[in-house]
Amino acid sequence: MNVSTELEDLQNGQLFLVDKPLHWTSFNAVSKLKYLIKRKHKIKKIKVGHAGTLDPLATGLLIICTGKFTKKINEFQALPKTYTGTITIGASTPSFDLETEVDQTFPFEHITKDEILSVAQSFEGEQMQVAPQFSAKRIDGKRAYEFARKGEQVEIKANNITIHSFEITNIDLPNIDFKIQCSKGTYIRAIARDFGLKLKNAAHLTALRRTEIGSFNTNKALTIEELDKIFT
C-alpha cells in the first residue's frame, strides 16, 4: 500500500488500510498510528480516526484516516462490508461470541446441510436486527457492553440492515464457515445468534475476519509490523 509519511501529507489527509490483529481493539490500532506519527515528526497533536469498529476477537480490515481525511470517515463507514468467519452451533454464550463462556448446550447432530443452506439464504435482503447486549452501541450515553458486563439488561432498539449475500463455504458440524456481504451497522454476532434460533437450536460466533470495505480489501492492508517499519 502506497501512503506518505510526510507530515504535510498526513495533515492534508492520508488513508491507511490496516489489518487489525486478534485481541487488539480498533482504538488500539488508531492509537498506534497516532503514536508513530507523533514520534516520527516530534509533534503533540494529529487527527487520526477509524471508519468502523472491529471487535477485539475479530481480525481484518480497518480504514484509518489522518488529518483532513477524518472528515471522510462517515463516507467510508457507509460502504458495504464483507466478512468471513465461523458460526458454531449447539451452544450459546451471552455475548454471542467467545468473549463469554458457554451458558447453554443443545444436540445438533440432527441438523442437515440443506437446513443450514436454507437458513443462510433466508437472511438475504433487508431486515431489522437487534444488536448484542455486549456491543459498543450507545444507550443513555454509555456503551451497551458497560451494562452487560454488570449483568444489567437494557432495551436495544432494532436497526434496519441489509444482507447482500450469505454464502456457506464449509460445514463441519458443529462449525459452519461463511462469507457475508452486508450493510453498515450489521452485527455478525447477532447473525450467529439468529442463525441458531432459525435452526431451533443455539449458535455463537467463534471466528470473524473483515476482508473488504467497499472496494478496499485486506490484500493491500498493512500489518502492525509493516506500519512500524514505514515510520522508522
> Among candidates 129, 122, 105, which has minimal Cα distance to 188?
129
CA dihedral 173, 175, 181, 184 (to 10 degrees): 130
**Catalytic status, residue 55:** yes
DSSP 66-131: EGGGGGGHHHHHTS-EEEEEEEEESEE-TTSSTTS---EE---TT--HHHHHHHHHHT-EEEEEPP
Catalytic option among 19, 55, 97, 194: 55
CB 13 within 8 A of CB 65: yes
Catalytic residues: 55
